[in-house]
Amino acid sequence: MRVVVLMGGRSAEREISLKTGQAVLKALEELGHEAVALDLEDSLCEKLRQIKPDKVFIALHGPYGEDGRVQGLLDILGIPYVGSGVLGSALAMDKDMTKKILKFHNIPTPDWVAVRYGEKPLWNKFPAVVKPSDQGSSVGLFVVNNQEDLKKALDELWSLTRKVIVEEFIEGKDVTVGILKEQPLPPIEIRPKKGIYDYESKYTKGMSEYEFLEDEYLVKELENLALKAHNALGLKDMSRVDFRIDKKGRPFVLEINTIPGMTELSLFPMACRKKGIDFKQMISMLIC
């Protein structure tokens, strides 16, 4: 099979996308496929027409790659691709829209407000989490304790986005659940050494510890909620649902990633390995 791996892109997650793409490319080559790496550049359409791939593996994180735009381009060109379509990708990329859909389906998510550029946030509950509505990899994540800190965080974030989420801070632990081919993967607890699972904690070796959950009741609840969230947004092939578990053991969905990272520190392939699926098997399942 001839597979194009789209990687790099124009978002703040370009570096991580390149690492994900290289890992996918290597696995495809070892599986015997004809794998071609392409960046998101002006000549993309022309190159895709020349290569005529059987399928595209989208390894682009963040805007342009994970938000439905490149999926729409591939639909127009009539080229099949791995992962969610235009609508699901766009909805999951916008954390505000994601949370509205979660709430509609009675899937627990922390209280929040969306703040657009130029608006004053109507929020007075602290501590609070502040983050762009349309970025991934915890880019631009802040935890604030008062109105002054909130204003400072917003001022910094307007260079990244025009819509920000201000969200209730849930004291507890971070857990993530992957979905592979509409089946949940084992939940992983994340223990960042600096207390918050930000960009540095995600992608710096040794900055976080990971442990698979053993509480069977909680595991089942998380798996069911993750699959319910995945289906509520109309996602396909894969996703990673991020949770916060409060001190009473109640899970809250924070966000959903439609193109999980595939780097050496990434949680999605780690969960696959726990289920007995190695990296190459995972890639093989995804391109089928």
- The answer to whether the CB of 123 falls within 8 A of the CB of 113 is yes
Question: Is residue 224 flagged as an active site residue?
Answer: no
CB proximity list for 142: less than 8 A, separation 6 or greater: 129, 130, 131, 149, 153, 156, 157
13, 67, 174, 223: the catalytic one is: 13
Question: Is residue 75 flagged as an active site residue?
Answer: no
Q: Where are the alpha helices (H) located in 144-259, listed in sequence order?
A: 147-157, 199-203, 216-232
Question: Is residue 261 flagged as an active site residue?
Answer: yes
Question: Is residue 240 flagged as an active site residue?
Answer: yes
Q: How many Cβ atoms are within 10 Å of 212's Cβ, its own excluded? A: 13
Question: Is residue 217 flagged as an active site residue?
Answer: no
Question: Is residue 255 flagged as an active site residue?
Answer: yes
Question: Is residue 64 flagged as an active site residue?
Answer: no
| DSSP 8-state assignment for residue 125 | -
Q: Please choose, from the candidates 57, 133, 56, 41, the residue with its C-alpha nearest in 3D space to the C-alpha of residue 90.
A: 133
Q: Where are the alpha helices (H) located in 8-77, listed in sequence order?
A: 14-30, 44-51, 69-77
- What tokens appear for 128 in the block? 């609070």
65, 244, 255, 266: the catalytic one is: 255
Question: Is residue 39 flagged as an active site residue?
Answer: no
17, 84, 89, 137: the catalytic one is: 137
21, 94, 133, 203: the catalytic one is: 203
239, 242, 244, 266: the catalytic one is: 242
**Residues taking part in catalysis:** 13, 137, 203, 240, 242, 255, 257, 261
